[in-house]
A and B are shown apart, each in its own frame.
Chain A
Amino acid sequence: DTGVSQDPRHKITKRGQNVTFRCDPISEHNRLYWYRQTLGQGPEFLTYFQNEAQLEKSRLLSDRFSAERPKGSFSTLEIQRTEQGDSAMYLCASSLEKSYNEQFFGPGTRLTVL
């Protein structure tokens, strides 16, 4: 399978714990995006990388959220001191810079904070 993969698919955690999600983009894609989607809403942009550089970060993203893409391939999204309001589906997408931003989405990681 050469699509975008995310791990884990589901995560249940207690409030206050830290969680980390991983996204593996399509191998030749140099752009990687993170989104968050809550029930009944459209996805919300969180951040995006071009290669290893984090180029955009949503103003809505609190300091508890951090994302990395150390070698320009896979990316991790960490949420520190989780809150119940962090419960959502976290989606990753990737694209080629030259494909006019057509994005390919991963299956998402569903986070539940108890």
Chain B
Amino acid sequence: KNEVEQSPQNLTAQEGEFITINCSYSVGISALHWLQQHPGGGIVSLFMLSSGKKKHGRLIATINIQEKHSSLHITASHPRDSAVYICAVKDTGNQFYFGTGTSLTVIP
């Protein structure tokens, strides 16, 4: 069993759609990260959360510590948002666990 589960695994959306990617985890955490990985492997950190909600442009990330769940939302999606989105958690023992990622394709 993976410590971090993401859904869906693959997501195709029309440009302009509102997108939600979900992440559930089973370990006690000190922080949760949302990462974006483009073809070719480059990874960019989008958000780091330990509680509540963060917003950056069209991206919103929320976390519910009690339910061990986080969501990443993209408003007004655009083809340039096409990438793999990875949820990662840092447990209280300094280990990082990663989800397998959600592959997003936004069609013009």
**A residues lining the B interface (CB < 8 Å):** 33, 35, 37, 40-45, 48, 55-56, 58, 89, 91, 93, 100-105, 107-108, 110
Contacts and interface: CB of A to CB of B under 8 A. Distances in A.
B43 A102 contact: no
Q: How large is the interface on B (under 10, 10 to 19, 20 to 34, 35 or more residues)?
A: 20 to 34
21 contacts: A33-B96, A37-B41, A41-B100, A43-B86, A43-B98, A44-B98, A45-B95, A45-B96, A45-B97, A45-B98, A56-B94, A56-B95, A89-B41, A100-B48, A101-B31, A101-B90, A102-B33, A102-B48, A107-B42, A108-B42, A110-B41
Given A48-B94, A100-B31, A42 B42 contact: no
Contact of B45 (A41, A43, A48, A104): A104
B44 A42 contact: no
A91 B95 contact: no
